A = this chain, B = another copy of it.
Amino acid sequence: MNTKKRILDEALTLFSEKGYGNVYVAQIAEAVGIKAPSLYKHYKSKQDIFNAILDEMKKSYDKQASMLNISGEDAVSDAEVYSDIGEDELVRMATGLFLYFLHDDYAQKFRKMLTIEQFRDSELAHLLTKEYADDPLSYQSAMFSMLCKKGVLRKYDPDVMALHFYAPIYFLLTVCDREPQRETESTELLKRHIRQFSRIYGKGE
Protein backbone atom coordinates (compact mmCIF):
# COMPACT_ATOMS: atom_id res chain seq x y z
CA MET A 1 0.00 0.00 0.00
CA ASN A 2 0.95 3.63 -0.44
CA THR A 3 3.79 4.37 1.97
CA LYS A 4 3.53 8.13 1.56
CA LYS A 5 -0.08 8.03 2.79
CA ARG A 6 0.70 5.60 5.59
CA ILE A 7 3.36 7.96 6.92
CA LEU A 8 0.74 10.69 7.24
CA ASP A 9 -1.67 8.37 9.04
CA GLU A 10 0.86 7.12 11.56
CA ALA A 11 2.27 10.61 12.10
CA LEU A 12 -1.20 12.00 12.76
CA THR A 13 -1.86 9.24 15.29
CA LEU A 14 1.36 10.02 17.13
CA PHE A 15 1.02 13.82 16.91
CA SER A 16 -2.55 13.63 18.26
CA GLU A 17 -1.42 11.75 21.34
CA LYS A 18 1.99 13.17 22.17
CA GLY A 19 2.19 16.45 20.29
CA TYR A 20 4.58 17.37 17.50
CA GLY A 21 7.54 18.12 19.74
CA ASN A 22 7.34 14.82 21.60
CA VAL A 23 7.21 12.63 18.51
CA TYR A 24 10.49 11.60 16.87
CA VAL A 25 10.85 10.73 13.22
CA ALA A 26 12.18 7.33 14.27
CA GLN A 27 8.84 6.63 15.99
CA ILE A 28 6.88 7.54 12.90
CA ALA A 29 9.15 5.33 10.81
CA GLU A 30 8.79 2.43 13.22
CA ALA A 31 4.98 2.72 13.15
CA VAL A 32 5.09 2.59 9.36
CA GLY A 33 7.52 -0.34 9.43
CA ILE A 34 10.55 1.34 7.89
CA LYS A 35 13.70 3.07 9.14
CA ALA A 36 13.88 6.79 9.78
CA PRO A 37 16.11 7.73 6.82
CA SER A 38 13.61 6.17 4.41
CA LEU A 39 11.04 8.78 5.45
CA TYR A 40 13.15 11.43 3.80
CA LYS A 41 12.51 9.89 0.36
CA HIS A 42 8.84 10.82 0.84
CA TYR A 43 9.02 14.05 2.83
CA LYS A 44 11.89 16.45 3.10
CA SER A 45 11.54 17.08 6.84
CA LYS A 46 9.46 16.38 9.94
CA GLN A 47 7.78 19.76 9.53
CA ASP A 48 6.94 18.79 5.96
CA ILE A 49 5.01 15.78 7.25
CA PHE A 50 3.08 18.01 9.63
CA ASN A 51 2.26 20.46 6.83
CA ALA A 52 1.05 17.62 4.61
CA ILE A 53 -1.32 16.46 7.37
CA LEU A 54 -2.65 19.99 7.67
CA ASP A 55 -3.20 20.27 3.92
CA GLU A 56 -5.00 16.94 3.76
CA MET A 57 -7.18 18.01 6.65
CA LYS A 58 -8.16 21.32 5.12
CA LYS A 59 -9.19 19.51 1.95
CA SER A 60 -11.30 16.96 3.77
CA TYR A 61 -13.07 19.55 5.93
CA ASP A 62 -15.42 20.87 3.25
CA LYS A 63 -16.49 17.34 2.43
CA GLN A 64 -17.12 16.57 6.09
CA ALA A 65 -18.85 19.88 6.77
CA SER A 66 -21.35 19.49 3.95
CA MET A 67 -21.97 15.89 5.00
CA LEU A 68 -22.74 16.98 8.55
CA ASN A 69 -24.56 20.14 7.56
CA ILE A 70 -22.46 22.46 9.62
CA SER A 71 -20.91 24.57 6.88
CA GLY A 72 -23.44 27.34 7.26
CA GLU A 73 -24.20 27.29 3.52
CA ASP A 74 -27.26 25.11 3.45
CA ALA A 75 -28.94 26.10 6.68
CA VAL A 76 -31.91 27.72 4.97
CA SER A 77 -32.70 24.76 2.74
CA ASP A 78 -32.04 22.38 5.63
CA ALA A 79 -34.58 24.27 7.68
CA GLU A 80 -37.16 23.26 5.07
CA VAL A 81 -36.33 19.64 5.75
CA TYR A 82 -36.61 20.18 9.49
CA SER A 83 -39.94 22.00 9.23
CA ASP A 84 -41.66 19.26 11.11
CA ILE A 85 -38.77 18.54 13.45
CA GLY A 86 -39.76 16.94 16.73
CA GLU A 87 -37.97 16.15 19.95
CA ASP A 88 -36.90 12.68 18.86
CA GLU A 89 -35.49 13.97 15.59
CA LEU A 90 -33.56 16.67 17.40
CA VAL A 91 -32.11 14.06 19.76
CA ARG A 92 -31.08 11.90 16.80
CA MET A 93 -29.48 14.86 15.07
CA ALA A 94 -27.50 15.93 18.16
CA THR A 95 -26.32 12.47 19.20
CA GLY A 96 -25.40 11.76 15.59
CA LEU A 97 -23.25 14.86 15.45
CA PHE A 98 -21.72 14.10 18.84
CA LEU A 99 -20.92 10.47 18.11
CA TYR A 100 -19.54 11.28 14.66
CA PHE A 101 -17.15 13.85 16.08
CA LEU A 102 -16.22 11.51 18.91
CA HIS A 103 -15.71 8.28 16.96
CA ASP A 104 -14.60 9.26 13.48
CA ASP A 105 -10.95 8.33 13.59
CA TYR A 106 -9.71 11.15 11.45
CA ALA A 107 -11.91 13.82 13.06
CA GLN A 108 -10.88 12.78 16.55
CA LYS A 109 -7.17 12.67 15.86
CA PHE A 110 -7.24 15.94 14.04
CA ARG A 111 -9.18 17.63 16.82
CA LYS A 112 -6.78 16.32 19.46
CA MET A 113 -3.75 17.43 17.46
CA LEU A 114 -5.16 20.93 17.06
CA THR A 115 -6.03 21.02 20.76
CA ILE A 116 -2.48 20.15 21.71
CA GLU A 117 -0.83 22.56 19.26
CA GLN A 118 -3.29 25.46 19.36
CA PHE A 119 -1.18 27.83 21.46
CA ARG A 120 1.97 27.39 19.39
CA ASP A 121 0.53 28.42 16.04
CA SER A 122 -2.22 30.95 15.47
CA GLU A 123 -3.18 29.30 12.17
CA LEU A 124 -4.02 26.13 14.08
CA ALA A 125 -5.91 28.17 16.67
CA HIS A 126 -8.03 29.75 13.95
CA LEU A 127 -8.69 26.38 12.34
CA LEU A 128 -9.90 24.86 15.61
CA THR A 129 -12.12 27.86 16.33
CA LYS A 130 -13.58 27.78 12.82
CA GLU A 131 -14.32 24.07 12.74
CA TYR A 132 -15.51 23.57 16.30
CA ALA A 133 -16.97 26.97 17.19
CA ASP A 134 -17.79 29.46 14.46
CA ASP A 135 -19.00 27.12 11.71
CA PRO A 136 -21.28 24.97 13.87
CA LEU A 137 -22.68 28.05 15.62
CA SER A 138 -23.35 30.01 12.45
CA TYR A 139 -25.00 27.04 10.76
CA GLN A 140 -27.23 26.28 13.70
CA SER A 141 -28.05 29.92 14.28
CA ALA A 142 -29.23 30.25 10.68
CA MET A 143 -31.28 27.08 10.98
CA PHE A 144 -32.90 28.03 14.27
CA SER A 145 -33.62 31.46 12.86
CA MET A 146 -35.57 29.86 10.01
CA LEU A 147 -37.38 27.48 12.35
CA CYS A 148 -38.42 30.42 14.51
CA LYS A 149 -39.73 32.35 11.50
CA LYS A 150 -41.68 29.31 10.37
CA GLY A 151 -43.28 29.08 13.78
CA VAL A 152 -41.75 25.67 14.56
CA LEU A 153 -39.80 27.10 17.50
CA ARG A 154 -40.49 29.97 19.87
CA LYS A 155 -38.98 33.31 18.98
CA TYR A 156 -35.71 33.79 20.85
CA ASP A 157 -32.29 35.14 19.84
CA PRO A 158 -31.10 32.43 17.42
CA ASP A 159 -27.41 33.03 18.20
CA VAL A 160 -28.05 32.21 21.83
CA MET A 161 -30.26 29.26 20.89
CA ALA A 162 -27.38 27.88 18.84
CA LEU A 163 -25.05 28.40 21.79
CA HIS A 164 -27.48 26.62 24.12
CA PHE A 165 -27.78 23.76 21.66
CA TYR A 166 -24.13 23.37 20.67
CA ALA A 167 -22.00 24.40 23.67
CA PRO A 168 -23.10 21.37 25.75
CA ILE A 169 -22.28 19.10 22.80
CA TYR A 170 -18.80 20.60 22.54
CA PHE A 171 -18.34 20.50 26.30
CA LEU A 172 -19.19 16.78 26.52
CA LEU A 173 -16.94 16.11 23.54
CA THR A 174 -13.93 17.56 25.37
CA VAL A 175 -14.74 15.43 28.41
CA CYS A 176 -14.93 12.24 26.33
CA ASP A 177 -11.75 13.05 24.41
CA ARG A 178 -9.98 13.09 27.77
CA GLU A 179 -11.91 10.25 29.39
CA PRO A 180 -13.35 7.86 26.81
CA GLN A 181 -14.85 5.64 29.50
CA ARG A 182 -17.36 8.40 30.21
CA GLU A 183 -18.99 8.12 26.79
CA THR A 184 -22.15 6.33 27.94
CA GLU A 185 -22.75 8.71 30.82
CA SER A 186 -22.08 11.71 28.56
CA THR A 187 -24.38 10.48 25.81
CA GLU A 188 -27.18 10.11 28.37
CA LEU A 189 -26.63 13.64 29.64
CA LEU A 190 -26.56 14.86 26.05
CA LYS A 191 -29.97 13.32 25.41
CA ARG A 192 -31.42 14.90 28.54
CA HIS A 193 -29.94 18.20 27.37
CA ILE A 194 -31.62 17.97 23.95
CA ARG A 195 -34.98 16.94 25.38
CA GLN A 196 -34.94 19.86 27.77
CA PHE A 197 -33.82 22.17 24.95
CA SER A 198 -36.73 20.93 22.86
CA ARG A 199 -39.21 21.46 25.70
CA ILE A 200 -37.93 24.98 26.32
CA TYR A 201 -37.78 26.24 22.76
CA GLY A 202 -40.46 24.05 21.19
CA LYS A 203 -44.07 25.15 20.89
CA GLY A 204 -45.40 21.94 22.38
CA GLU A 205 -46.14 23.34 25.78
Interface residues of A (CB under 8 A from B): 16-19, 21-22, 112, 115-116, 118-120, 125-126, 128-129, 133, 156-157, 159-161, 163-164, 166-168, 170-171, 174-175, 177-179, 189, 192-193, 196-197, 200
Contacts and interface: CB of A to CB of B under 8 A. Distances in A.
Contact of A192 (B118, B133, B160): B160
A133 B171 CA distance: 8
A21 B17 CA distance: 13
B125 A119 contact: no
A126 B163 CA distance: 26
Nearest to A23: B21
17 contacts: A17-B119, A18-B21, A18-B120, A19-B120, A21-B22, A115-B119, A116-B119, A118-B178, A119-B177, A129-B175, A133-B174, A160-B193, A160-B196, A164-B164, A164-B193, A164-B196, A164-B197
